Amino acid sequence: MIIKRLEYGMLLLAAFVCHIFIVDYISFWILAFLVMLPLVSLLITVLAMGGVKAELIIMNASIQKNELLPIQLKIYNKYLFLVCRSRVKLTIRNELLQQEQTRLFFVTARHSGQTVEQVISSKYCGMLRCSIAELRIYDALGLFSFHKKSESSYLVAVLPSVYPLMAINSAILQDIENNITSRTMKGNDPSEIIDVREYRDGDRLARIHWKLSDKYDQLMVKDFGDPISNDVLLLFDLNGNSDEEISGLLDSVYSISDFFIKNQIAYEMEWYDSLHEHLMLTEIAQNKDLGLVFEAIMTNSRFQKQSWVLKNCSNSYGHKPYSVVLYLCSEITSNSIAMIHKRLAGSRVNILLVTDVPGTRTDLTTIDLKNIKESMSNLVI
């Protein structure tokens, strides 16, 4: 814009000097035309600006790491005969890692509209907030510009990678299968049906007893028992030293969660919501639950130097013990190891160290980020 203004100033100065030395109607009208031209351009731009709209179009709500995501940026003007130039600043921010990249587009806003397509990807998991950070309107001469507010924004989940696990420790599996279920308290243990009753508003469709419903010609619902001891607790701290460690740690948590769901192992997950500064404990029974939890994790979690989950794991589980506790982190001290065993006494505690520097702790199960696929396939939890 500065260059355009300098060019216009030089042209106006030349016309003025020409009019001084050549006093005639032609030089006068040229000078008058150059003086009035910016005012006309300004008026057209002000009128056109009210009809300019910019919006993002993103079809996918979630993608995998390194998967290509097409983004469409559409600019149009609702006024038929008014055209102006625009500059759009598109920001793509990873809410988990607090990383942001910016892209600029110069597009002509006309009534028929113009669409610009970009393809982005992310090698780290997290919630990508794609938004129009700035929409600036320019006149045809490039002498004036105006900022216009635009609220077009999308959230896209970049999901962690899933690495297959090969086996589960037989002793742990026995602990899980030996859980006792209450015959009087209603809960979520599908292996124990304590009652069958008529359907009520709010009951889950998954609990409908279809055979009895067909027999009695009305919807009948199963009530499940409540486990006296919970099965598995999966907790983790995002205390990695790099983006690779944080992303790899979530890959590990997601892979273990996927393994539990596929093997119908009931479990709960605990993590620290650093945005609202409190612990979150969630029961996960199916892939839909896992997806919602990870969207919340990648939106509300930040890098944390302290092991908040570990420090607060003493009184957050009520009176029910867990058969198995899996704790994942990227850094841990000997005092922390002693603390977690003390606070979770009575549970089989497994500590998994996710790091890109293998061999730092030979006394713990290590997931090597440099060979994470192999580490996960050889992992026995």
My answer on whether 223 and 233 are in the same domain is no
Which domain, by its residues, includes 256?
170-179+229-377
Strand, helix or coil at 225? strand
Assess whether 103 and 196 both reside in one domain. Answer: no
* CA dist list (Å): 194 to 33, 183, 189, 191, 198: 90, 6, 10, 10, 14
Specify the residue for token string 């505690």: 349
Query: What pLDDT sits at residue 94?
Result: 93
Q: Where are the beta strands (DSSP E) in 4-95?
A: 52-57, 62-64, 69-77, 84-94
Q: What is the CATH number of the domain that holds 111?
A: 2.60.40.680
Contact 135, 149 (CB under 8 A): yes
Domain-embedded: residue 106 = yes
Q: How many domains does the chain have?
A: 3
Question: Is residue 77's pLDDT more than 70?
Answer: yes
In a domain, 140, yes or no: yes
In this structure, is residue 25 part of a structural domain? no
Taking the CA atoms of 222, 227, 231 and 233 in sequence, report the sign of the dihedral they define: positive
The answer as to whether 110 is a domain residue is: yes
Residue 4 placed within a domain:
no
Whether 352 and 372 map to the same domain: the answer is yes
Q: For 224-234, what is the mean pLDDT?
A: 64
Inside any domain, residue 14: no
Say if CB 325 and CB 300 are below 8 A apart: no
Task: Choose the most confident range, by mean pLDDT, from 133-137, 221-225, 340-344.
Answer: 133-137
Residue 254: pLDDT above 90? yes
Do 96 and 201 belong to one domain?
no
Q: Cα separation of 5 and 138, whole Å?
A: 13
Percent of the chain with pLDDT over 90: 18
Q: Are residues 216 and 175 in the same domain?
A: no
Radius of gyration for the chain, computed over Cα atoms and rounded to the nearest angstrom: 31
- Write down the pLDDT at residue 230: 53
At 34 the three-state DSSP class reads helix
Percentage above 70 pLDDT, the chain? 87
Q: What is the pTM of this model?
A: 0.72
Q: Which DSSP state fits 204?
A: -
- DSSP summary character for residue 47: H
Q: Count how many residues are written for the chain.
A: 381
Q: Residues 6 or more apart from 44 whose CB is under 8 A from it? A: 82, 84, 139, 140
Q: What is the CATH number of the domain that holds 246?
A: 3.40.50
> Does position 185 have pLDDT exceeding 50, yes or no?
no
| 254 and 353 co-located in one domain | yes
Contacts for 340-343: CB closer than 8 Å, 24+ residues apart: 340/310, 340/313, 343/313, 343/314
Task: Name the helix (H) or strand (E) containing 191.
Answer: strand 189-198
Residue with tokens 């029961």: 283
